[in-house]
Amino acid sequence: LYYSFSLSSTAVLIEYHHFKVVIVTSEPKKINEILLELKGRAKTYWTKHSGKSRKHCSQAEPYFCEQFNTCYTHQFTQISSQNKKERILPQGRHEIPFSYTLPKTLPSSFEGEYGFVRYTCTATCERPWDVDIVSKRAFTVVGIEDINQEPETMEPACVSECDSSVSFCCRRQGSVSVKLSLDRTGFTPGEQFQVNATITNDSSKTIRCSALKMRQQVDYR
């Protein structure tokens, strides 16, 4: 019995998000129910050090947890030789699409060193007198963020740096200056932004390449 998910990687809030369970069997199988669970939660974890002792701490916050039955196997109900009802999934490929409306206030997905905001979808094949088959997949949520209410995020940012220590054989060869600017300082998850860079080479040296490095700073509260 092969069992898997097929779902898109990004969910859009407010609208229905579409999922699909795919089941492929090489022969008829007894399956009572196909159950689904959608879950979203945040969790942080850290370690407190006191002398030689360490204490591991964690805190979790659930956002939602929805469980429901697809009722897909009900159409394959049969009467056995013992005059009992049983559900036998025919051989072949079975696709079970379903939709769900995500809550409007969900934060965006996040994975960090000391915590995460994670959304998962779990499907369970409930089999009589046998071990259940469970498949779990994570999906990405892009939250709705309105930064227009925060005027400081609309202000531009600019920084410049000058290196006048360019030298060769203990002789100064001039300076190199760099200026970086952004049209604003606030951006929402999933949004693209442009960095404007100006490099002024007042030295006799040739600049072969330049690189921009982005650094993320996360506050856990």
CA–CA distance, 168 with 182 (Å, rounded to integer): 34
Segment 120-175, tens digit of pLDDT? 989 999 999 889 988 888 888 887 777 778 888 888 999 998 877 665 555 566 78
CA–CA distance, 23 with 95 (Å, rounded to integer): 6
Q: Is the pLDDT of residue 12 over 60?
A: no
pLDDT at 153: 85
CATH of the domain spanning 4-139: 2.60.40.640
Query: In the chain, what are the domain boundaries?
Result: 4-139, 151-201
Q: How would residue 8 be classed by pLDDT, with cut points 50, 70 and 90? A: very low
What average pLDDT is seen over the chain?
A: 84
pTM of the model: 0.75
Average pLDDT estimate for 1-8: 48
Average pLDDT estimate for 28-42: 93
Burial label, 23 (beta-carbon count in 10 A; 0-12, 13-18, 19+) = buried
